Structure formats: C-alpha cells, structure tokens
C-alpha cells in the first residue's frame, strides 16, 4: 500500500489564489517513480444545515446555481471559516437563507465531527452536516420558505428525488440513518 511518503511534489506549475478558492497545478512523482501533473482546488469547508420544526424539514426557496445554470432546491449552507465550528456557522446560515433568528433554535446537533471529504482526489474540502431543531413556535418568514417536508420515509424519499446537490443528499441520508424511521 502506498503511503504519503511514497509520493513527492517535485514543483508547483501554477497557483491561482482568490478569496474563495485556490487552484494549484503541481508536478508529482508517484510511488512508482512516474511523473504526473496534478490539478487540485483548495476551498473553505462547507456546512449544510437541516432545519427541523414540528417534524418537518424546512427548505429555502430555490437559488440560482451558476455551475448548473439553473435554480436548485437545497438546504441552507455555506462556507465554514477556518477555526470556526460548524455549529457556530449554522445560525448565520439559517438567518441568511430562511430568516430564522438565532433565538428560534432550540438545539444544534452535528451529524459529523470531523467532516466528510468532498472529491478527495481533486479537493481538500470537507463537508459538515448540522441539524437545527427549531422551537415549535418559531416564525419562519413565508417568502423565504419553499416547503416543509415531513421527516418520515415518504417525505425523505420524495426529497431525495428533488435534490440535485450531492452534498445536500449526503447530509439528508446521514440524518435519516442517524434519526432512523
């Protein structure tokens, strides 16, 4: 089995750095002595929040996604700044995407502590999932809310058919596995 010490970075070909993303082109020597160009992206880690209220998952209005050229239904989510815990980012994401005030959150529960790798061959990015249980009396502004989907098997299966985002689907599936039917 190859180890990290079996591969060496010979040199950097190019680095393009922006506030959102860093693109790196590098020349690596693999464990067989073969040289290869390797391109990768370094991005801030992602947090996806599943807001739950009265047994329903709440979804914000569909948003335009330049990568797919259309609006898609997604859970609230965004970038996790370095050194900030995912549960600390969740209230800001809920406020921004669903208009949910921080005091409307009864509990925040991480679905994973270490983060899941997203395309580990191409990126260093990790994905964190957080469940936000909302107070039953909390108000969610109607214009920002797309729908409330029951947290039962039928609702989860329907939602899995509607979601295009693989990250949202992964977090939803983990939620379903952990909470169970």
Measuring CA to CA, which residue among 174, 137, 136, 156 is closest to residue 54?
Answer: 136
* Orientation of helix 153-162 relative to helix 166-179, angle to 10°: 170
CA 142 from centroid of its chain's CA atoms: 24
Output the pTM of the full model.
0.86
Set out the domains of the chain in order of their start, with CATH numbers.
Answer: 4-42 (no CATH), 45-179 (3.90.79.10)
pLDDT, position 4: 60
From first to last of its 181 residues, the chain has per-residue pLDDT tens of: 556 678 998 989 999 998 878 888 999 999 999 999 988 888 889 999 999 999 999 999 999 988 889 999 999 999 998 899 999 999 999 999 999 999 999 999 999 999 999 887 778 889 999 999 999 999 888 899 999 999 999 999 999 999 999 999 999 999 999 987 6
pLDDT of residue 40: 86
CA–CA distance, 159 with 175 (Å, rounded to integer): 13
């Amino acid at each position: 089995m190859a180890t990290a010490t079996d591969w060496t970075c010979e040199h950097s070909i190019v680095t393009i750095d922006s506030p959102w993303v860093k693109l790196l082109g590098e020349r690596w020597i693999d464990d067989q002595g073969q040289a290869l160009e390797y391109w990768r992206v370094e991005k801030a880690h992602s947090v996806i929040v599943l807001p739950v209220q009265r047994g329903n998952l709440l979804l914000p209005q569909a948003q335009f996604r330049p990568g797919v050229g259309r609006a898609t239904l997604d859970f609230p989510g965004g970038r996790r700044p370095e050194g900030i815990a995912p549960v600390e980012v969740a209230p800001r994401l809920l406020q921004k995407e669903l208009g949910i005030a921080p005091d409307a959150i009864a509990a925040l529960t991480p679905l994973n502590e270490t983060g899941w790798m997203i395309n580990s061959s191409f990126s260093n990015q990790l994905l964190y999932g957080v469940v936000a249980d909302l107070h039953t009396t909390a108000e969610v502004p109607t214009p920002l809310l797309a729908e409330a989907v029951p947290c039962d098997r039928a609702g989860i299966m329907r939602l899995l058919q509607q979601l295009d985002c693989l990250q949202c689907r992964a977090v939803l599936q983990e939620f379903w596995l952990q909470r169970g039917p």
